[in-house]
Chains A and B, each alone.
Chain A
């Protein structure tokens, strides 16, 4: 039935190009040949299922073995829907990020900023029946990267989503409102459409903010919708 309807193509300009010269890392990694368009079959229309029983949620990233992580506690909450506004329920979200000092707990991160023994920086949450989810974490710091002289990544949190099918897989990054680094960031600016770009910026939300505890940000995520527009084969 509806599970066999193909997903619509992405809206023009809403997705970044693989060939984004300002992001130096794309130069040798983007294919030169155009992709071959294929019709969606069971391979693309089905996808993995993750249950919280088998994949334990970690919705509080601020607690380490020896105590609380250093930094500004924040709550990030949002809703996953599809392009028709329908909730995407019971779907796994993977989250990872740098610590408050802008350092990842990762062997390849050589930035001269301190690690926090109480902050690993990986979380996992599931959307509920209405598509709602939330995570408690630490606001990540900005950090330098070798893309160009004096390049700094804006504060960001990485998100990985699956949705109902392999065709809805999404890996993205969430940014923070008012960050002066956004206008200089080739990853963020690699999305051609300004409105699509700005939807990656979370909104400060007093309703999510918990008194005397943590600021709250809203980050809603939209996955591809089905049908309506005929699939180009």
Chain B
């Protein structure tokens, strides 16, 4: 059983309704984000993420019907409804709720450009560009008949494609009901952590909520309405094996190591007294800007290191 399950009450059927979405940004973009896809479709796609010499790719399947969305992809399998998320861990399914969640809002820095007619997979489509200030940040190819996004490209600060997700198959008729998971045996409520030491805003991202995390740590969840990331803060620990040979990159005059997965970037670092993990789908220039406002990597003081070697 995973460690963070100790944070939640087993078998407590507490249903936390998802709050109404609010936004202050581009209305047309917000409409797209809040659900432009049809009620029924099945799609298979590929997602590729590249940052410098790092690249990762995976396939994913999405089935939507009767208000349920079943997704199987690089982040695992989960079924989502408007009220609940059910995730798979090994052979088990478990429902997850957060004790509190701030309403979604879209940053005013994003603006949706006008559509441009195009074709994709033999289907009439519209190409949209989402601008981040003056920079093109996302390119979208949206199927005209169904409004399903066929291609999504996230661009970095220099206009290079950072992540691309493309459907390679789309079926909006005769959609089979997703294979429903067995009733979730566990219902978990992630507790809110009232003591939030991490910044309220980072590089245009707002700290939405702070939760208790595994090992007595804290999860700060940040979002700008388009991208999101979590910063996990815990007592200083060892560097996870996967980061020891990971690619180094510079930010704010210091060095970090990153792990790129198809739909996430992970960064781990140790400050003198704390360890941090940042995970999210934000593009590299946003990530580097966010790191600049977080506690910096550093070594423990000499005497503290000696003390810990002697006395633990």
Do A and B bind? no
Partner-B contacts on A (CB < 8 A): none
